[in-house]
Every structure is written in C-alpha cells, then in structure tokens.
Amino acid sequence: MKGATTNICYNVLDRIVHEKKLGDKIAFYWEGNEPEETTQITYHELLVQVCQFSNVLRKQGIRKGDRVAIYMPMIPKLVVAMLACARLGALHSIVFAGFSAESLCERILDASCSLLITADAFYRGEKLVKLKELADEALEKCREKGFPVRCCIVVKHLRRTELGTGDSLSQSPPIKRPCPDVQISWNEGVDFWWHELIHEAGDECEPEWCDAEDPLFILYTSGSTGKPKGVVHTVGGYMLYVATTFKYVFDFHAEDVFWCTADIGWITGHSYVTYGPMANGATSVLFEGIPTYPDVSRMWSIVDKYKVTKFYTAPTAIRLLMKFGDKPVTKHSRASLQVLGTVGEPINPEAWLWYHQVVGAQRCPIVDTFWQTETGGHMLTPLPGATPMKPGSATFPFFGVAPAILNESGEELEGEAEGYLVFKQPWPGIMRTVYGNHERFETTYFKKFPGYYVTGDGCRRDQDGYYWITGRIDDMLNVSGHLLSTAEVESALVEHKAIAEAAVVSHPHPVKGECLYCFVTLCDGYTFSSTLTEELKKQIREKIGPIATPDYIQNAPGLPKTRSGKIMRRVLRKIAQNDHDLGDISTVADPSVISQLFSHRCLTVQ
Ligand code: PRX
C-alpha cells in the first residue's frame, strides 16, 4: 500500500516479543570457537540490546539512509549491530571478517560509510584473527584516500573476561586457551569501546519507520569486471521473501532449532541466520568456529548439544567432512535432525548421497537451494517431504518464481534443454540496484536478454522438468561456495612488480569444488621461483583475502590470445587440466605458446 510504513527490526524483535509473546524464547544459542564457550540470548534480551545500541548509533549521528560498515566475528553483537542499523533505517554493509584490510577499505569507500563496527580479535579454529589491526589498516587507507571515517566502535571480544559480569557474553566460562595479549592501537576521538558506549545508552528506542522500498542493506559480491558490486536490498520485499522462504523451505515449526552454518558476512547468513529465522520467531544456533576444530565431529556434537532439527550448510563443508569417513558423524546421535539443506554451489551426487545416507541416516529430506546474493532468498528448491528429490538437482522454482532456459539467441527453450538460466518475472526479494551505479545493475542483469533477469549460471532441465545448475557461464569462479571474479584476482596479481600479465581460470578441486589456477607472464629481468609464488599468494591474501589464495601459479612466457588480443581462457582451462582436446584453436594468434604451456604445467599443488 502506498504510503504505508514498516521496519524490519520491529518485525523481527518487537513484534515477536510483544505480539507473539515470545520474549522469553531463545533467539540464539551462541557456540564459540571453543566448545566450552557458550551463551544464549532471548528475543527480549536481544530487543533490549538492539535498542541500546541503536541509541548509541543515533548519538554518534547515524540517521536514516546513512551507511554503516560492520566487520565482525560470528557473535551475538554482530546480530545486534545489524539490527540496530535496520532499526534506524541506516544501511548496514557487512564485510566478511575473512576479507583483507584492502577489501574493507574498498567497500567503505564505495558506500561512503561514516562509521565502522568491529572487534578486537577472535579465533577461527587455531587461527587468531587480529581484526582491529586490519580495521585500523583499512581506516588508514581510507584516510589516505581522503575519506576519514569518523567513528569506529570496537567490541572487546577476545579479552571479554576483563569486562566482568556486566556483559552477557562474559557469563560464559573464560576461554580455555591462553588469551594472547593482542596489542590494540587506539585512535583517540575515533575509536570507542562498545561496552563503554552502551553503558550510558537507554534501552528503549523508537524504530525509524520506513517505506517498503527504502534500502535495508548493501552486501558486496564479486563482479565480472573485478570491482565488487554493492547489492542493495530493500526493507519490505526482502523481509517478506526471507520470512516466507525460511518458513516453507525449512518447514518451520515453533519448536525447531535451526542451524545455518554460514557466516553472517555472506547473504546466506543475512537471510537465514538473522532475518528469515527471526521473522518467524525461530531459535537458531550461531556458531563462531569451523567444522574441523577441535575435531572433525564438531558439527555433529553441536547438533546433539542443541538438538538441532534443521541444518543448512554448503557442499564444500560436506565434501571436507566426507574425507574423514562416517565414524565422526555416527558417533553422535543426530536423532533430532529432520531437514538438511545445502547452498552455495552445485552439490555433486556423491556428496549428496553421503549427506543423505550418513548425516541424515536416510530419514531427512535434503533441500538443495539455488539462489544468489542478488535474489535475497531461495529461487529453485525442493520443499522438504513434498518434492521427490534427485541428488544434485535444485528441483523446482519456489512459489512465484518463473525460471526459463534461453539459448544464445535469447529464445526460450521448452522441455528437456540446456542453456542460460534466467527469471521471467520479478519476485519480492530481488535486489533493487547496485549501490551508486544503477546503470551497472541494468547492464549486468538485464542487458544480455532484455526482459529477463540473467543469473549468470548455466542450467539443464531434464525430461521430468527438474532444474540442474551446471555452474557459472561468465568469468566467475565458485571457490568453496564463494564467488570470485577472475578479473579481481588478475588485477591483484599484476599489481606485483614482477608480473606483466596474468590470466586466472577455474580448476576442479575435490573439496573446494573449484580452485584458482593462475598463469603469470613475468616482466623482463625477473625469474619464476617459489619465493615469487609465495609473494604472489601473499599479495592476493592482502588485496582480497585468504579465500582467494590460488592453488596453482604457473609461469607463462606467453598466453594464448586471439588476433584481437583477447586471452583464450577456454584453452587455458584445458591446459590446466592437461586436456589436449582443445577444440577449434584456429583463432589463436601464436599456437606455439600452447605447447609451451602444456610442458610447463604445475603438477603439484603449491
Ligand atoms: O553459481 C550459483 C551458485 O552460487 C552463485 C551465487 O553466489 P552468491 O551470490 O555468493 O550466493 C551464494 C549463496 C546464495 C550462483 O549464481 N549457487 C548457489 N546455490 C547453488 C549454486 N549452484 C548450484 N546449486 C546451488 N544450490
């Protein structure tokens, strides 16, 4: 209705507490990196904390429409921070805490965020991540580029036991492992401790009423040009879409304990850790750690500990755990499990069957959910118990979703077919724009086939009408369920002084699904060595983040190009796989580079 107003924070908290009378229901069981670190937070407690933190943000000058960057570990305060922004109508831009300082800086600048929320440090498995240090580096870079962020709010997380009992998290037992003395540098006038600001804040805060089409958040996703796109979702449509997909795709019931293992820094975490479950008043698990720490049965021990009923993870995690056999799974009961979900990349039938037979003991339907940062929520998915499954197929569209498969000329293919996956009509959760660049939104998604939303994925429809995603058909790679563009990795490589040119292709990987295989041409006077490849990997980690670390880097004195100078990635992919069946190579300007590259292939993972 035109002129109607709403607020998503109100809907996932105030409405649940006051109208649904679920204030005492647990919103999140928090499980820290160490199994002994646990706490829980009810809807009412969360509402109070969100109101307090909204007041803090308001006092710092944050108003409707402002952008706030969030760079935090998987802790309840991350949920508090994002919901406080939503309460004020400010856009949160959450940057996954595995991204580098450079990536954080790029995202802060792109959306001109006036405030950053971060934490001192945290552990992911054995690895200590000094988040504040990275945040400082990012803010320094922003200053150098003429954009000083005026406020940085820091959660004392690693050293939280110093806070005493006033903080809800510090009620959990102290961390067992020795807590390193992480030195934190402090910028007076810019840095503020969360716990100090919250101390003075009132615990009531009227939400900022928003139009359904007001922007809710920005979340960056890789773009094929190399520059990440700030995907913008809006309040009304996104709220409706994540609430509905959560309810039907996971067959939600009030007594469920839901666990989505994704980090909130990705869209899966936004939609199915925070907004979707909370809009339904669900109880969820929020997990800070990783599946292999302290051992490879961690996931299943958490399932038993909280009696998880619905479990949602990525194929890469399943493939990783599969390697360790059935025992770490079967030694835990898992009797509570009812529905299993996957997301992020195509699931190979072998992993699907292991998930179904071993993890789900053949009792639990699997929902293979295909969707994207841009779609806000599930697009193709089975409904558990109702849709007959086929291992590896995301099956059919969700309610109101109209997929089509097009050929290269843009004609809709009927029946059994393979081609470009597109959607013929909008759905409530569709992204509304690329932040600050609406033209890019139109060209990326609507230009190739006018009248359709183009996913960038290939897809096959079988004789029974089931959809099978065949993978990206643009210059994107999917590493462990995370999208990367070849262009962003290539530009990080060529920034190294020794590199004249780089070409990156996708290469199959047994656990990650795909990995990066890089071809690099050196500048005159440099030699290829393991020192250089280590430097290049470091450079990529610093420019993008550890997820983009290549598995292979090969010396390429020349690259196969067309006469017009376009690098032939199709040929490079074949070389990486030692597949001599190259198809038509008549357009290669200098075919001799191909045999040269075959003879220099990387035979081992570096
Ligand atoms: O290629 C598809 C793959 O992940 C891409 C979207 O990535 P992102 O925006 O990072 O969002 C990931 C989480 C929603 C898609 O274009 N993808 C996602 N889910 C599936 C999938 N591929 C096959 N099957 C899936 N279930």
Atom of ligand 1 nearest to the CA of 394: 26
pLDDT at 499 over 90: yes
- What is the pLDDT of the chain when averaged over all its residues? 94
For residue 175, count other CB atoms closer than 10 A to its CB. 17
pLDDT for 165: 56
Q: Whose CA is nearest to atom 14 of ligand 1?
A: 372
Which whole number is the average pLDDT over 207-212? 98
Stretch 515-541: mean pLDDT: 95
Helix axes 530-543 and 101-110, enclosed angle (nearest 10): 30
pTM of the model as a whole: 0.93
Which of 271, 272, 313, 372 to mutate for ligand 1's pocket (most ligand atoms within 8 Å of CB)? 372
Query: Which residue carries 């580079």 as its tokens?
Result: 593
Please calculate the CA angle 50-56-59 and round it to the nearest 5 degrees. 140
Amino acid at 263: D
**What is the pLDDT at residue 169?**
55
The atom number, within ligand 1, closest to the CA of 471 reads 1
> Is residue 168 scored above 90 in pLDDT?
no
pLDDT, greater one: 573 or 564:
573
Q: Is the pLDDT of residue 177 over 90?
A: no
Summarised one tens digit per residue, pLDDT across range 449-475 is 999 999 999 999 999 999 999 988 888
- C-beta of residue 89 within 8 angstroms of C-beta of residue 65: yes
Q: Which atom of ligand 1 is nearest to the CA of 483?
A: 10
Q: Shortest CA distance to 431 belongs to which of 217, 225, 272?
A: 217
Distance 52 CA to ligand 1 centre (A): 36
| Relative orientation angle of helices 592-599 and 569-576, to the nearest 10 degrees | 30
Cα(482) to centroid(ligand 1), Å: 8
Atom 15 in ligand 1: residue holding the nearest Cα = 372
Best probe residue, ligand 1, of 263, 268, 340, 371 (max atoms within 8 Å of C-beta): 371
pLDDT at residue 198, rounded to an integer:
96
Q: Which atom of ligand 1 is nearest to the CA of 472?
A: 1
User: Ligand 1 centre and the CA of 430: distance in Å?
Assistant: 15
3 state SS of 457? strand
Instruction: Give the position, in ligand 1's atom list, of the atom nearest the Cα of 368.
Output: 26
Q: Whose CA is nearest to atom 22 of ligand 1?
A: 345
Distance from Cα 481 to the centre of ligand 1, integer Å = 7
CA of 426 to the centre of ligand 1 (A): 18
The answer to whether residue 305 scores a pLDDT higher than 60 is yes
- For 282-313, give the secondary structure using H, E and C: CEEEEECCCCCCCCCCHHHHHHHHHCCCEEEE
**φ, ψ of residue 208 in degrees (nearest 5):** -85, 120
Q: What is the pLDDT of residue 531?
A: 95
What 8-state DSSP symbol labels residue 6? B
Q: Residue 175's pLDDT is what?
A: 58
- Mean local confidence (pLDDT), 149-154: 97
* Euclidean distance between CA atoms 130 and 94, whole angstroms: 17
The pLDDT, as a whole number, for residue 515 is 95
Contact (CB, 8 A) for 211 and 416: no
CA-nearest residue for atom 11, ligand 1, is 372
Q: Could you tell me the distance, in angstroms and rounded to a whole number, from the CA of residue 179 to the centre of ligand 1? A: 37
Q: How far is the CA of 373 from the centre of ligand 1 (A)?
A: 8
Task: Give the number of other CB atoms < 10 A from CB of residue 112.
Answer: 14
Three-state DSSP at 11 gives helix
Ligand 1 atom having least distance to the Cα of 369 = 26
Per-residue pLDDT at 207 = 98
Residue 2 or residue 233, greater confidence: 233
Of all residues in the chain, the percent with pLDDT exceeding 90 is: 87
- Ligand 1 centroid vs 479 CA: distance in angstroms? 11
- Model pLDDT, residue 223: 85
Q: Ligand 1 centroid vs 458 CA: distance in angstroms?
A: 11
- 3-state class of 344 per DSSP? coil
Taking residue 163's Cβ as centre, other Cβ atoms within 10 Å add up to: 15
pLDDT band with cut points at 50, 70 and 90 for residue 582 = confident
Q: Which of the four pLDDT bands, split at 50, 70 and 90, describes residue 603?
A: low
471, β-bridge pairs: 458
What's the pLDDT band for 167 if we cut at 50, 70, 90?
low
Q: For residue 420, how far is its CA from the centre of ligand 1 (angstroms)?
A: 14
Which residues does ligand 1 sit against, CB inside 6 Å?
Answer: 221, 267-268, 343-346, 368-373, 394, 455-457, 469, 472, 478, 483
What pLDDT shows up at residue 178? 61
Q: What is the pLDDT of residue 182?
A: 77
Span 10-50, pLDDT tens digits? 999 999 999 999 999 999 999 999 999 999 999 999 999 99
For residue 521, give the nearest of 424, 590, 605 by alpha carbon. Answer: 590
Please determine, for residue 57, whether its predicted confidence score (pLDDT) is greater than 70.
Answer: yes
Nearest-angstrom CA–CA distance, 276 and 398: 15
The rounded Å distance from CA 181 to ligand 1 centre is 39
Token pair of 21, please? 């009378």
Q: What's the mean pLDDT in 164-176?
A: 55
